[in-house]
Amino acid sequence: MVFFKLHSESTLHHKKAFVLLPVLCVLLSSCIKEADFSGFIRSTDRVEERFQQSMAWNQSHSYKNIVFPSDDYKLLITADVHIGGPKTHQNLLSFVNRAKLPDIAAAVYVGDLATGRESDITLFQSLLPSDSITPNFVMVGNHELYFDGWKAFYNLFGSSTYYFTITTPNKKDLFICLDSGGGTHGESQLAWLKEMLDKLRSQYDRCIVYSHSNLFRKHHTASTSPTMDELFVLLDIFETYKVDMVITGHDHKRDIKQLGNIQYIVLDALRDDAKNASYMLLHKNHTGLYFQFIKP
């Protein structure tokens, strides 16, 4: 009788768990904005490993310097396109068509390009304008780490930690791209960022940093965030080296903060099913930096 009683209680507990699990999932998805349960399927790659691979790639590839014929130029910047699944890619095509116009010096993609599946990352790459028309600068987001997507990303795009420059008749500007796909930049990447800024910042007029994960969270999500220690280190680096803008994505909702002389900008998502889809047009001229958000 004792055995039967224990067996029955165990069975009852399993039945309760079976019933409660889907209920819990529904509650989580309704309470946590932009919950993404595919995130449980993660790449085995970690930020330190990705950083080392990116540095190896950088050693065999020279950084890109874009020579633009005018001091007046524009960049297009987007994030969270999420190519893959049943969604179409009309918003990305709208962005790409605008990027092909001659006033655009470069197009920047701040992570969450696709689902992480190799087929979707390959599709994303096939939709981009040719680098001979508009140079493309791409970073990983957390979705590029799903389904071992980092391997496909690296094969197609190479480094996710690098810098590029734009040289005009009278000015030079510095743009630094970082890997925060896993929610943290890691010690090695932070040391590299500080080293690059220490070495290069004084040679350039404006400096803009791009990374996928936003630094300041406006609402609770199921997504990753940097640690407080890392946040303080980043804020100190940005302030010390007079970074002008830090542009991120990840939260799918536009947010603009001014801390001292630095603007911290979170982009809207560009995915086709986003209610407020937009991308950013950044305009640099002799008077300063200006930006606007454009609906696709």
Average pLDDT over residues 30-36: 36
Work out the average pLDDT over 222-235.
80
Q: Residue 12 pLDDT > 60, yes or no? A: no
Tokens of residue 219, six digits: 């609402």
Give residues with Cβ within 8 angstroms of 281, minimum separation 6.
74, 75, 76, 77, 291, 292, 293, 294
Identify the pLDDT of residue 115. Answer: 87
Give per-residue pLDDT as tens, 75-84: 999 999 999 8
Instruction: Write phi, then psi, for 44 (nearest 5 degrees).
Output: -80, -10
- Predicted confidence band at 2 (pLDDT cuts at 50, 70, 90)? very low
Largest distance between two CA atoms of the chain: 90
**What percent of the chain clears pLDDT 70, i.e. is strictly above it?**
81
Q: Is the per-residue pLDDT at 227 higher than 90?
A: no
- The DSSP result for 123-158, as a single string, is HHHHHSPPTTTS-EEEE--GGGGBTTHHHHHHHHH-
Mean per-residue pLDDT of the chain: 86
Q: What pLDDT score does 41 carry?
A: 43
The pLDDT, as a whole number, for residue 16 is: 44
DSSP alpha helices (H): ranges in the chain? 2-31, 47-59, 90-99, 118-127, 149-157, 187-200, 228-240
Burial class of 228 by CB neighbour count within 10 A (0 to 12, 13 to 18, 19+): exposed
Closest CA to 168 of 50, 283, 3: 283
When comparing pLDDT for 19 and 190, which is higher? 190
Q: For the residues 192-206, what does the mean pLDDT come to?
A: 98
Average pLDDT over residues 141-147: 93
When pLDDT is averaged across residues 205-213 and rounded to a whole number, the result is 97
- Residue 283, token pair as written in the block: 């305009």
Residue showing tokens 């830090």? 246
Q: So what's the pLDDT on residue 5? A: 39
Cα separation of 213 and 178, whole Å?
Answer: 10
The pLDDT tens digits of the residues spanning 250-269 come to 999 999 999 999 999 999 99
CATH-assigned architecture of domain 38-294? 4-Layer Sandwich (3.60)
Q: What is the distance between the alpha carbons of residues 215 and 235, in angstroms, rounded to a whole number?
A: 9
Q: Is the pLDDT of residue 220 over 90?
A: no
Instruction: Render pLDDT for 83-125 as a digit per residue (tens, 0 to 9).
Output: 987 667 999 999 999 999 999 999 999 999 998 899 999 999 9
pLDDT of residue 72: 97
SS3 203: helix
Q: 35-39, 97-101, 166-170 — which is least confidently predicted? A: 35-39
